[in-house]
């Protein structure tokens, strides 16, 4: 079955052989304090920085999920409150989760079809972290690099944290324009779920050290102290670290991948524009996601499209949140091939054009 589900999404086919190699090489049971593990961690960190164009002075940590990163940010970077900007379900969930730890946290919801109005935005003086979702998986929108830069420049003493779950390893993100970036690996990385990457600027780490929060196994200061020796503060997902390193070795640089995905996204939006029974959920091209395409129609039609696609061995993504019933989503991730998208287009042309 062709998998266009936006997470967990298609895994690179090479992973099958890498799994066998991991088993045969004893990777699955190496001690995480051993020299072998530290060499693997060092290689993986170096590959991430090289292939994703992450600044050399930024710090990389590994967690279990993007949701855990929400928790880490609330615990290790926030004393009293964070400020959340969102237009969809995952940004809202991040805010609601942060409130459970820092009850004074505040939020601003901006319109689906618009950029964040950074000129007129008022960031609470007491907020220590400003939180945004770069690619909102629930509705197929994204925040562009210029808006992120404007937000970063507007932050005074606040850190800027970015949920890049549906874009990291797919788009050429400008890491220097924010302090904290994170993403789970079951999307653009093309890996099995169960691990996430957190990228922190020197400024973010300085803040964490200043707060010196060490009450949790995933406290940033503890993660940092262990990473000095390429270790972790807990038993890590060694298998996924190994798979990530192997996948990154055979991937192109992020600039090339970005160009391919952006061009393919534009082609997909152009392909779907003439259809009359359904249309892109987001009509403003400037805020449309390049990695998650959301399409909207009558809920009965949407259900029919998903069932018909499954009968043709094509898995489409369900709608999410307030758009659950009347939308379906298509992942435009690096592991999906151009040939697969031609099959997808052929399905829609024959059945709904």
How far is 317 from 315, CA to CA, in rounded Å?
A: 7
pLDDT tens by residue, 155-175? 989 999 999 999 999 999 999
pLDDT at 264 over 90: yes
How far is 90 from 323, CA to CA, in rounded Å?
A: 13
Q: Is 212 within 8 Å of 219 (Cβ atoms)? A: no
Other Cβ atoms within 10 Å of 222 Cβ, number: 20
The closest of 140, 99, 128, 155 to 320, measured between CA atoms, is 140
Instruction: State mean pLDDT over 35-46.
Output: 98
pLDDT at 353 (0 to 100): 85
Q: How far is CA 237 from CA 142, 144, 331, in A?
A: 29, 32, 25
Mean of per-residue pLDDT scores for the chain:
97
pLDDT at 5 over 90: yes
Going by their DSSP bridges, the two strands 129-133 and 82-86 should be labelled as parallel
For the chain, what is the largest distance between any 2 Cα atoms, rounded to a whole number of angstroms? 60
pLDDT tens by residue, 62-86? 999 999 999 999 999 999 999 999 9
pLDDT at 96 (0 to 100): 98
Query: Looking at the whole model, is its pTM more than 0.85?
Result: yes
By three-state DSSP, how is residue 122 classified?
coil
pLDDT at 156 (0 to 100): 85
pLDDT-based confidence at 110, cuts 50/70/90?
very high
pLDDT tens by residue, 294-319? 999 999 999 999 999 999 999 999 99
């Amino acid at each position: 079955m062709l998998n266009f589900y936006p997470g967990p999404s298609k895994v690179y086919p090479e992973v099958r052989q890498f799994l066998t190699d991991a088993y045969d090489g004893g990777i699955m049971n190496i001690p995480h304090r051993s020299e072998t593990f530290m060499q693997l961690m060092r290689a993986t960190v170096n590959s991430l920085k090289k292939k994703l164009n992450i600044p050399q002075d930024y710090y990389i940590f590994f967690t279990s999920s993007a949701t855990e990163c929400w928790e880490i940010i609330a615990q290790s970077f926030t004393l009293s409150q964070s400020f959340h900007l969102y237009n969809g379900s995952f940004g809202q969930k991040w805010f609601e989760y942060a409130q459970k730890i820092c009850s004074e946290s505040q939020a601003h919801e901006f319109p689906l079809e618009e950029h964040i109005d950074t000129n007129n935005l008022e960031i609470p003086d007491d907020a220590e972290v400003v939180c945004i979702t770069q690619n909102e998986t629930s509705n197929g929108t994204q925040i562009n690099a210029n808006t992120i830069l404007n937000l970063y420049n507007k932050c005074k003493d606040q850190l800027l944290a970015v949920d890049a779950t549906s874009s990291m390893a797919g788009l050429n993100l400008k890491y220097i324009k924010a302090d904290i970036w994170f993403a789970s690996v079951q999307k653009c990385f093309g890996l099995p779920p169960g691990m996430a990457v957190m990228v922190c600027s020197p400024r973010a780490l300085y803040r964490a050290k200043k707060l010196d929060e060490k009450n949790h196994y995933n406290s940033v200061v503890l993660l940092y102290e262990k990473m000095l020796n390429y270790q972790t503060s807990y038993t890590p997902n060694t298998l996924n670290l190994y798979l990530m390193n192997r996948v990154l070795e055979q991937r192109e640089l992020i600039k090339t991948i970005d160009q391919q995905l952006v061009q393919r996204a534009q082609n997909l939006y152009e392909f779907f524009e003439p259809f009359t029974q359904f249309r892109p959920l987001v009509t403003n091209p400037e805020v449309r996601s390049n990695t998650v395409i959301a399409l909207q129609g009558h809920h009965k039609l949407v259900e029919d499209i998903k069932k018909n696609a499954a009968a043709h061995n094509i898995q489409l993504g369900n709608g999410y949140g307030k758009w659950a019933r009347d939308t379906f989503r298509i992942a435009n991730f690096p592991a999906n091939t151009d040939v697969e998208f031609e099959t997808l287009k052929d399905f829609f042309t024959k059945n709904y054009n």
